[in-house]
């Protein structure tokens, strides 16, 4: 059991199997985390070789909720040969939800389907809420958050590392325990530039 208090059980949806990454997935790790466009709005630099993909796997994906990494599920298509994306959840009190998908699978609702399954598992394990953030230059990610039932709370600036970029993020949140008033405030508190936008809530 990981530090979120939940076992890394395999999850299944209509089209997908969600499971931990394994040693046999290194080529998939390279495809997912090596694509410049897929990783454009993520803090890390894309991996540049299978060797770097192995290092990334060991450092972030292999611990399944332990060590320094987040809690990662590989997104696999039923009948497919390996992961085509991922859903991850932060181990700190943000319970930050993230996702990524190979470009050829964009626009099919796969990230939404996968993230819904993971959120359902988090709720069953008693996790009280999840948050998610997206770069304002990446509104497509915000649309996924709204499809998941997440609510926009506020925006803030952060110097993102290791890319060392000043980024404006939008924070979304979904409370799983019925406490509709809760807003995760740590990003707001630590940012010198924070504000609430008027967004057009279009799916």
- Flag whether 202 is in a domain: no
Provide the mean pLDDT of the chain: 91
- Flag whether 140 is in a domain: yes
- Flag whether 88 is in a domain: yes
Expressed as residue numbers, the domain containing 148 is 11-195
pTM, entire model? 0.92
User: For position 2, what pLDDT does the model report?
Assistant: 57
Instruction: Return the CATH number at 19.
Output: 3.40.630.30
Cα dihedral sign for 21, 110, 80, 18?
positive
- Flag whether 203 is in a domain: no
- The pairing of strands 129-135 and 97-101 is unpaired
User: For position 199, what pLDDT does the model report?
Assistant: 85
Angle of helix 139-147 versus helix 110-124 axis, rounded to 10: 50
Band of pLDDT at residue 123, cut at 50, 70 and 90: very high
Is 59:71 a contact under the CB 8 Å cutoff?
Answer: no
Q: Which of 58-72, 77-91, 140-154 has the lowest mean pLDDT?
A: 58-72
- Flag whether 154 is in a domain: yes
- Pairwise CA distance, residues 95 & 87, whole Å: 12
Q: Please state the domain count of the chain.
A: 1
- Flag whether 79 is in a domain: yes
- Flag whether 6 is in a domain: no
Average pLDDT on 63-67 reads: 53
Is 107:199 a contact under the CB 8 Å cutoff?
Answer: no
Give Cβ neighbours of residue 31 (< 8 Å, ≥ 6 apart): 84, 102
- Flag whether 200 is in a domain: no
């Amino acid at each position: 059991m990981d530090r979120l208090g939940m076992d890394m059980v395999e999850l299944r949806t209509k089209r997908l199997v969600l499971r931990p990454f394994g040693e046999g997935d290194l080529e998939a790790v390279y495809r997912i985390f090596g694509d410049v466009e897929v990783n454009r709005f993520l803090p890390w630099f894309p991996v540049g070789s299978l060797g770097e993909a192995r290092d990334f796997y060991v450092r972030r994906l292999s611990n399944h909720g332990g060590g320094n990494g987040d809690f990662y599920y590989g997104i696999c298509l039923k009948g497919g040969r390996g992961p085509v994306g991922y859903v991850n959840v932060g181990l700190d009190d943000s319970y930050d939800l993230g996702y990524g998908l190979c470009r050829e699978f964009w626009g099919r609702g796969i990230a939404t389907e996968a993230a819904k399954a993971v959120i359902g598992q988090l709720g069953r394990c008693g996790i009280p809420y999840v948050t998610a953030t997206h770069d304002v230059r990446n509104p497509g990610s915000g649309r996924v958050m709204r499809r998941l039932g997440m609510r926009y709370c506020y925006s803030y600036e952060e110097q993102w590392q290791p890319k060392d970029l000043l980024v404006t993020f939008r924070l979304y949140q979904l409370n799983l325990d019925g406490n509709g008033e809760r807003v995760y405030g740590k990003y707001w508190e630590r940012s010198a530039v924070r504000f609430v936008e008027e967004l057009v809530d279009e799916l």
